[in-house]
């Protein structure tokens, strides 16, 4: 190691060196450096209709009735494409799932269940369809689909799914207690949230009304197709009855009458009319399954959104107002007790109750903002479903094209057959 050369350097004490001063700016500018919530756009849901529909499709099929000692029990086989498993559920199981979903997701769109009524064949089929719509809306919801409750309902094959659902709900708790953004919801909400909500709600109310009218018309068309099927079948049977009449012609009939020949040909025409009836019946089923059901699915979602808005107004907001009213009463009682110099114990009890009420109000305010946060997301979800209109129209047009093509083919065959049977025979001529 070489020693330094040259004269010795004078050492300056550290305390005498002037260090650079940090530039902190104005104190008010420090507010911008506060801890901010994560800038992720947690309020916006990044979903498309295709992504929602691809989450899962659950088939709900009626299985043969099981007779108990007094009542018949209707069961359903549920098959989830996502979980690749089939389970058996009764209406009461759906009812418990609906109950625990409302407990866990009180601020979300939870579809309604069909009512439980007398077991008639038409009602049982209608309820099966409604339960299918319910579980598919649930299984495709961005939050519900990933929740343990829904997974349990679609996969648990034990003997008591209802107890399992209740226990799972108790373990998970409600969404406000488990969602990491619940207490920060106010910071994520837009300043004009109330105005946006009012505008969206009015628009959705109008959409709901229009879709109800579309569904009613689609139901009438499907019903007319079924009635047409019955009429065509009966028309063919009456022709067959005419053709089966073997009684001789009366003497009053002209010898040149063609009725005898015509009558013999009528019986064979019932075959084509039976085919036409079957095609019309298939058309009615297509209209019911592909058009009416899709309309009912979206209507179920629209009605659930309306129910959610009412829960927000009659539930969270109402409870918040009640808590504020109770708080104002306690404050007046406290003031009265102070002025009248009541016993110390009574004053302390009032103070304790006021503190408890203040805490309750704070929690309700947080819940109110979280309810608005969820409403904002559920409104987005509903608008995400709106393009299903194109699916419905596509299904409607396709059903009409297929139905008219199939029936047109049979009508053309029938026209050729009529030409062969009656054309040129005994002076008969088919009208053009």
Q: What is the pLDDT of residues 229-267, one digit of tens each?
A: 999 999 999 999 888 887 777 776 655 567 777 777 888
Backbone φ and ψ for 258, nearest 5 degrees, come out as -95, 5
104 versus 20: the higher-pLDDT residue is 104
Whats the size of the chain, residue-wise? Answer: 432
* For residues 305-319, average pLDDT: 80
Question: Would the pLDDT of 291 be above 80?
Answer: yes
Grade residue 113 by pLDDT with cuts at 50, 70 and 90.
very high
**pLDDT confidence tier of residue 221, bands split at 50, 70 and 90:** very high
* Backbone phi, psi, residue 59, to 5°: -85, 130
Quick one: which of 273, 266, 270 has its CA closest to 232? 273
- Residue-wise pLDDT tens digits, 125-159: 899 999 999 999 999 999 999 999 999 999 999 98
What mean pLDDT is predicted for residues 185-213? 93
Q: Report the C-alpha gap between 287 and 278 in whole angstroms.
A: 14
Tell me the pLDDT tens digit for each residue of 343-400: 555 666 766 666 666 666 777 888 888 999 999 999 999 999 999 999 999 999 999 9
pLDDT (mean) for 187-200: 91
Closest to 271 (Cα-Cα) out of 432, 154, 410, 370: 410
Q: Give the best-scoring range by mean pLDDT among 20-34, 202-216, 341-355, 417-431.
A: 202-216
More confidently predicted of 329 and 361:
361
pLDDT, mean of residues 24-30: 50
Q: In terms of C-beta density within 10 A (0-12 exposed, 13-18 middle, 19 or more buried), how is residue 93 classed?
A: buried
Q: How confident is the model at residue 218 (pLDDT cuts 50, 70, 90)?
A: very high
Q: Mean pLDDT across the stretch 63-88? A: 82
pLDDT(167) > 90: yes
pLDDT attached to residue 38? 44
Please report the pLDDT score of residue 268 as a whole number.
83
Q: Of all residues in the chain, what percent carry a pLDDT higher than 70?
A: 73
Contact (Cβ atoms closer than 8 angstroms) between residue 367 and residue 176: yes
User: How distant is the alpha carbon of residue 29 from its chain centre?
Assistant: 48
Whether residue 27 is predicted with pLDDT greater than 80 in this model: the reply is no
Q: Report whether pLDDT(25) > 60.
A: no
Specify the higher pLDDT residue, 373 or 425: 373
- Residue 169, phi then psi, degrees to nearest 5: -65, -40
pLDDT at residue 382, rounded to an integer: 96
> Is residue 124 very low, low, confident or very high in pLDDT (cuts 50, 70, 90)?
confident
**Is the predicted pLDDT of residue 67 greater than 80, yes or no?**
no
Contact 74, 93 (CB under 8 A): no
Mean pLDDT of the chain: 83
Task: Tell me the mean pLDDT in the region 208-231.
Answer: 97
pLDDT at 303 over 50: yes
Q: What is the pLDDT of residue 42?
A: 87
Q: Which residues lie across from 80 on neighbouring strands?
A: 58, 85
Q: 3-class secondary structure for the chain?
A: CCCCCCCCCCCCCHHHCCCCCCCCCCHHHHHHHCCCCCCCCCCCCCCCHHHHHHHCCEEEEEEEEEECCCCEEEEEEEEECCCCEEEEEEHHHHHHHHHHHHHHCCCCCCCCCCCCCCCCHHHHHHHHHHHHHHHHHHHHCCCHHHCHHHHHHHHCCCCCHHHHHHHHHHHHCCHHHHCCCHHHHHHHCCCCHHHHHHHHHHHHHHHHHHHHHHHHHHHHHHHHHHHHHHHHHHHHHHHHHHHHCCCCCCCCCCCCCCHHHHHHHHHHHHHHHHHHHHHHHHHHHHHHHHHHHHHHHHHHHHHHHHHHHHHHHHHHHHHHHHHHHHHHHHHHHHHHHHHCCCCHHHHHHHHHHHHHHHHHHHHHHHHHHHHHHHHHHHHHHHHHHCCHHHHHHHHHHHHHHHHHHHHHHHHHHHHHHHHHHHCCCCCCCCCC
CA–CA separation, 135 and 111 (whole Å): 9
In this prediction, residue 336 carries a pLDDT of: 65
How large is the average pLDDT for residues 182-192? 91
Distances (CA, A) of 333 to 104, 124, 319: 37, 58, 21
pLDDT at 427: 45
β-strand partners of 90: 75
Query: What Rg do the C-alpha atoms of the chain give, in angstroms?
Result: 37
- Residue 362, pLDDT score: 79
Strands 85-90 and 58-67: unpaired
pTM, to two decimals: 0.78
pLDDT range class, residue 82, cuts 50, 70, 90:
very high
Q: Please, which pLDDT band fits residue 115 given cuts at 50, 70 and 90?
A: confident
Query: Quick one: pLDDT at residue 269?
Result: 87
């Amino acid at each position: 190691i070489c020693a330094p050369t040259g004269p010795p350097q004078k050492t300056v004490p550290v305390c005498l060196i002037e260090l650079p001063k940090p530039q902190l700016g104005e104190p008010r500018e420090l507010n911008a450096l506060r801890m901010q919530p994560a800038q992720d756009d947690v309020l916006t849901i990044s979903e498309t209709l295709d992504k929602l529909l691809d989450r899962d499709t659950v088939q709900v099929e009626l299985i043969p009735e099981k007779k108990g000692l007094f009542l018949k029990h209707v069961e359903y086989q549920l098959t989830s494409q996502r979980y690749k498993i089939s389970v058996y559920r009764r209406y009461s199981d759906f009812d418990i799932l609906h109950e625990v979903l409302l407990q866990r997701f009180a601020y979300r769109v939870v579809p309604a269940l069909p009512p439980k009524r007398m077991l008639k064949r038409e009602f049982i089929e209608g309820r099966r369809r409604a339960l299918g719509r319910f579980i598919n809306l649930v299984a495709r919801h961005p939050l519900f689909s990933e929740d343990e409750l829904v997974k349990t309902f679609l996969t648990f094959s034990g003997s008591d799914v209802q107890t399992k659902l209740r226990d799972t709900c108790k373990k998970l708790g409600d969404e406000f207690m488990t969602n990491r953004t619940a207490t920060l919801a106010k910071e994520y909400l837009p300043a004009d949230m109330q105005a946006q909500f009012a505008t969206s709600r009015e628009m959705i109310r109008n959409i709901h009304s229009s879709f109800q009218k579309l569904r009613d018309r689609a139901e009438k068309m499907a019903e007319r197709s079924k009635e047409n099927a019955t009429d065509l079948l009966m028309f063919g049977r009456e022709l067959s009855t005419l053709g089966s009449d073997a009684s001789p012609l009366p003497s009053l009939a002209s010898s040149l009458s063609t009725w005898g020949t015509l009558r013999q040909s009528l019986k064979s025409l019932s075959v084509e009319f039976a085919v036409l009836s079957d095609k019309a019946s298939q058309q009615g089923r297509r209209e019911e399954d592909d058009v009416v059901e899709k309309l009912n699915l979206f209507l179920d979602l629209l009605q659930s959104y309306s129910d959610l808005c009412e829960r927000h107004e009659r539930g969270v907001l109402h409870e918040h107002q009640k808590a504020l009213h109770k708080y104002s009463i306690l404050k007046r009682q406290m003031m009265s007790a102070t002025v009248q110099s009541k016993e110390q114990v009574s004053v302390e009890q009032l103070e304790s109750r006021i503190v408890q009420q203040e805490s309750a109000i704070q929690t309700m305010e947080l819940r109110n903002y979280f309810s608005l946060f969820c409403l904002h997301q559920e409104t987005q979800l509903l608008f995400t479903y709106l393009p299903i209109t194109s699916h419905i129209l596509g299904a409607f047009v396709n059903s009409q094209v297929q139905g008219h093509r199939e029936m047109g083919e049979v009508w053309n065959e029938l026209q050729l057959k009529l030409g062969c049977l009656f054309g040129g025979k005994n002076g008969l001529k088919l009208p053009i």
